Amino acid sequence: MVQPSGRACVGVGLGLQRQAAALSRGDARTIGQPDLGAINTWLPTGLLNDTRRIELAWNAFRSHPTGRSYSTQFGKIVSAPTDLVCRTQRTIGSETYTLLCLEQQIAPSMTTLGFPGSSVQKDYDSRGVVLPN
């Protein structure tokens, strides 16, 4: 990872647990953002990090939700079309809506995407960059 100073570093204060927690919250923005409060723990490697790689994976064999469920038109999950919230009124802003409880069908169709062929790597020109900077 390259810190704001441009130094290539190891151990930037973002542990796997913090990354996993961020992903479980759906907050991918925190992945790769350095902990500026931990700058004294950064270990300069002398490398420029001029090679970057990203790899994506989707494993169709892993369990995932399938089948029928119900939700309102605003995405609130309900138990069935007979749920007590169905056909009630909801005011959003100056508009009043009747809540519809709609059937949702989950039928994943994506096939496995994985190694090999699921990554992209790029080398960046770092001519003229000198460490420490």
Q: Which of 24-38, 55-69, 99-113 has the lowest mean pLDDT?
A: 24-38
The pLDDT of residue 3: 38
pTM above 0.85, yes or no: no
Say which amino acid occupies 23.
L
- Give percent helix, percent strand, percent coil of the chain, each to the nearest 5: 15, 30, 55
Pick 17 or 58 by higher pLDDT.
58
Q: How many domains does the chain have?
A: 2
Q: Cα(90)–Cα(92) distance, rounded to whole angstroms? A: 6
Please tell me what DSSP assigns to residue 111: P
Point out the least confidently predicted range of 10-14, 24-28, 65-69, 113-117: 10-14
Among 35-49, 52-66, 119-133, whose mean pLDDT is lowest? 35-49
Q: Are residues 44 and 88 in the same domain?
A: no
Asked if 43 and 76 sit in the same domain, the reply is no
Q: Which two tokens stand for residue 11?
A: 């151990």
Res. 45 pLDDT band, cuts 50 70 90: confident
Element (H, E) at 22: helix 16-24
**Whether residues 76 and 35 fall in one domain:** no
The answer on 46 and 5 residing in a single domain is yes
Place of tokens 């169905």: 86
Domain range enclosing 29:
1-50
* Burial zone of 47 (CB within 10 Å; 0-12 exposed, 13-18 middle, 19+ buried): middle
Task: Kindly state whether residues 71 and 45 are assigned to the same domain.
Answer: no
Which CA distances in Å does 12 have to 19, 24, 30, 69, 70?
A: 12, 21, 13, 43, 44
Position 10 confidence tier, pLDDT thresholds 50, 70, 90: very low
**pLDDT above 50: residue 1:** no
| Whether pLDDT at 47 is above 60 | yes
Q: Which of 53, 46, 52 is closest to 129 using CA atoms?
A: 46
CA distance 86 to 71: 9
Tokens of 94: 């100056």
> So what's the pLDDT on residue 25?
60
119, part of any domain: no
